[in-house]
A = this chain, B = another copy of it.
Amino acid sequence: MMQKSRSSLVNDAYRRLKQEIRSNRLPPGFHGTEPEMAERLGMSRTPLREALVLLEADGLVEMKPRRGIYILPILPQDMKEIYEVLTAIEPEAVASLAARKLPEKELMPLIDATARMEQALEDDDLEAWADADDEFHKELLVLHGNKRLLSIASLLFDQAHRARVITLRMREKPYRSTAEHKTVVEHIIKGEIEEARNVYREHRERAGAELLAILAKYKLQQL
C-alpha cells in the first residue's frame, strides 16, 4: 500500500484517482462506470478494478454492485470519527517522541514544516499552509517510526483532506494552530513529555471542534 511494488497500471490508476479525489476534480457524488473510467485512464478494466478495490478499502469510493462507482462524500459524522481517532493516536506519538530526546537535527523535518506554515501565513497562501500542516503531521509519525501508526493516520488524513481544505477558507487564519505546532516542537526538543502530549491533544481537540462547528454553522452536510 506504501511500497512501489504493485504493477504500474494498478499503481497509476490508484495514485491518479486518489489525487483527483483529493483535489476535488472528482467531487463527492461523482458517478462513473468502469468502462468510462478505464478509457479515461487509458487502460482496461482489469487494473482499474484492482485500484478501485483499494480505494474502496481506503474509504474514498464505493463500488455499488450494478450502479457503478461513486466518490464518497465526507459527512460531519465522518469528520467526528476521524478526529476522534487522530486525537487518540497523535498525542501518544508526540509523547513518545519527546521521551526520546532526539537531537534537534533529527527534528528538522518538523522545524521546516512549521517554518513553511509561518511563511504560508505571511504569504496568505492557505493551500501551502495546508500542505505544510499535512507534512508536519506526517513527518511526526515518520519520526516516531511506527509504520502502522503512519499508515492509519495517512488514511485518515486522506479521507479528511477535502473537508479540511474547504473549511480552511471559512475560518479565521490559522495563526494559533501554527503557534501550537511550534510549541509542540519545543516540548519535543526539551523532552517535556506531558507538556508535549497535552498541547498536542488540546490542539487536536480544538481543531476538531472548530471544524465541526464550521460544518454546523454553514449547514454543510457533506463535502
Say whether A195 faces chain B, with CB atoms less than 8 Å apart.
no
Does A121 belong to the interface (CB within 8 Å)?
Answer: no
Query: Which of the candidate stretches A49-57, A123-131, A183-191 sits at the interface with the other chain?
Result: A49-57
A85/B156 contact (C-beta < 8 A), A5-B65, A53-B54, A56-B1 known: no
What B residues does A81 contact at CB under 8 A? 146-149
CA distance A88 to B92 in the complex (A): 6
Which of A53, A54, A92 has the most chain B CB atoms closer than 10 A to its own CB?
A53
Distance, CA A148 to CA B84, complexed state (A): 9
Task: Give chain B residues whose Cβ lies under 8 Å from the Cβ of A147.
Answer: 81
In-complex Cβ contact of A5 among B54, B63, B146 (8 A): B63
From the candidates B10, B57, B152, name the one contacting A152 in the complex (CB within 8 A). B152
Q: Say yes or no for A82: interface residue by CB 8 A criterion.
A: yes
How far does the Cβ of A55 sit from chain B's closest Cβ, in whole Å?
A: 10
Bound-complex Cα distance A96 to B63 (A): 33
Q: Is the CB of B85 within 8 A of A152?
A: yes
Please, which residue of chain B has its CB at the minimum distance from the CB of A84?
B146
Chain copies in complex: 2
Judge whether A171 is part of the interface by a CB distance below 8 angstroms. Answer: no
Q: Which of B46, B53, B88, B148 is in CB contact (< 8 Å) with A156?
A: B148
A39-76 CB contact bits vs B (8 Å, 1 = yes)? 00000001001100110110100011100000000000
Closest CB-CB distance, A8 to chain B, in whole Å? 11
Q: Across the interface, which residues of B come within 8 angstroms of A54, CB to CB?
A: 53-54, 57
Q: Which of B10, B63, B64, B88 contacts A89 (CB 8 A)?
A: B88
Q: Tell me, yes or no, whether A87 is within 8 Å of chain B by CB.
A: yes
Q: List 16 A-B contacts (CB under 8 A).
A: A7-B65, A46-B46, A49-B50, A50-B50, A57-B57, A81-B148, A84-B96, A84-B146, A84-B148, A85-B89, A87-B92, A88-B88, A88-B92, A88-B149, A148-B156, A152-B152
